[in-house]
Amino acid sequence: MMKRHINEIIKGDALTVLKTFNSDFIDVGVTSPPYNKQEKHKGWLVKNVKYDSYKDIKSEEEYEEEQINVLNEIFRITKEGGSFFYNHKTRWEKGTMIHPMKWLLKTKWTIRQEIIWDRMIAANIRGWRFWQVDERIYWLYKPIRNNKIGKELESKNALLTSIWRFSPESGQKNTHPAPFPITLPVRIITSILNDNDGIVLDPYCGSGTTLVAAKLLNKKFIGIDISEEYIQHAKQRLQNASFEKKAIQEELQKHIVQKTFKQRKQNGEFTGRHRNNYKINVANTKPQDKQLKLV
Ligand SMILES: C[S@@+](CC[C@H](N)C(=O)[O-])C[C@H]1O[C@@H](n2cnc3c(N)ncnc32)[C@H](O)[C@@H]1O
């Protein structure tokens, strides 16, 4: 294990840094890489997203090859049974759709799920296609002895659906050009690690959202980013992490169920209700109950 990097952010190119790590020690990772947005055209995908020390203008072949190499290094350093959550979006180049699955299928990972992140808002409204407000989050899994199915999620986490609806982080709260909302890594880390200890990785950590989530959930973390400015920002956020507790609490409340599917079925109660239809009353709820009253 790379003890010296635990709870640290390393400055450098993700692939180069990952290659220096030992194998099999990461429990879960979350990341959003630069999307190769071709910012030479002012970033035709998300025009205002310009990184501090990185020009997002690789050829598509070069970008995909780099992503495959990065993902394979992450596979190597992840424990068997570990997971990596890879946020990306579908893009178009001269009218041809480029889907992340194209390079994900060339990696060593087992693709466990495709989650749709409904951001509800996005920049660049042009009429070439319907307003694209979705991104994808790929749950990648490193099998234990070739068992590609792996352990089930606890039902309190599995009750969340495969469509995640929350808006992107506001530019007023975070000056990084493309941070994701803290809800995203909180949902992932909580669902995968529960109360267990673990090491969380973000190889393109930007303003440190994944790392702050890991810290507030009492996990260890390792971040990598190429930009000194973003690393300083992330370090400041980590120091002031307690100010972000509220956002964490809001997400954690969604991981509490009063009755499991089995119990509701046994009682002849409705089993198909969408989770958002529940009104949750958290008052008087003891954390150790891990239960909420539904009103
Ligand atoms: C989409 S942003 C990540 C934002 C992050 N999830 C957050 O919440 O702030 C991508 C990040 O990748 C970094 N980056 C770009 N190329 C890199 C490389 N080769 N190695 C490491 N980091 C890189 C950029 O500086 C940027 O911060």
The 10s digit of each residue's pLDDT in 165-176 is 999 887 777 878
Q: Phi and psi (nearest 5°) for 48? A: -90, 0
100: pLDDT strictly greater than 60: yes
pTM: 0.86
Segment 267-280, tens digit of pLDDT: 888 776 555 444 44
Q: Which of 62-66, 151-155, 255-259 has the lowest mean pLDDT?
A: 255-259
Bridge pairing between strands 293-294 and 91-93: unpaired
Q: What is the Cα–Cα distance from 133 to 158, expressed in whole angstroms?
A: 24
Question: What is the maximum alpha-carbon separation in the chain?
Answer: 60
> Considering the chain, what is the average pLDDT of its residues?
86
Q: Which of 29-43, 109-123, 199-213, 278-292 has the lowest mean pLDDT?
A: 278-292
Q: From 9, 30, 51, give the residue whose CB has the most ligand 1 atoms within 8 Å, as the site to mutate.
A: 51
DSSP 15: H
pLDDT at 294: 33
- Site of tokens 């495709």: 114
Going from the Cα of 181 to the center of ligand 1, the distance in angstroms, rounded, reads: 15
Bridge pairing between strands 280-281 and 293-294: antiparallel
Per DSSP (E only), the strands in the chain are 8-11, 26-31, 78-88, 91-93, 96-98, 110-118, 134-141, 163-165, 199-202, 220-225, 280-281, 293-294
For each of the domains in the chain, give its residue range(s) and CATH number, in order of start: 3-254 (3.40.50.150), 256-295 (no CATH)
pLDDT at 37: 76
Q: From 180, 225, 216, select the one nearest 32 (Cα to Cα).
A: 180
Q: What is the Cα–Cα distance from 50 to 238, expressed in whole angstroms?
A: 23
Query: Which amino acid, 180?
Result: F
Q: What is the Cα–Cα distance from 83 to 129, expressed in whole angstroms?
A: 33
Higher-pLDDT residue of 286 and 198 is 198
The predicted model gives 161-167 an average pLDDT of: 95
Ligand 1 — pocket residues by CB below 6 A?
13-14, 32, 34, 51, 54, 176, 178-180, 204, 206-207, 209, 224-227, 230
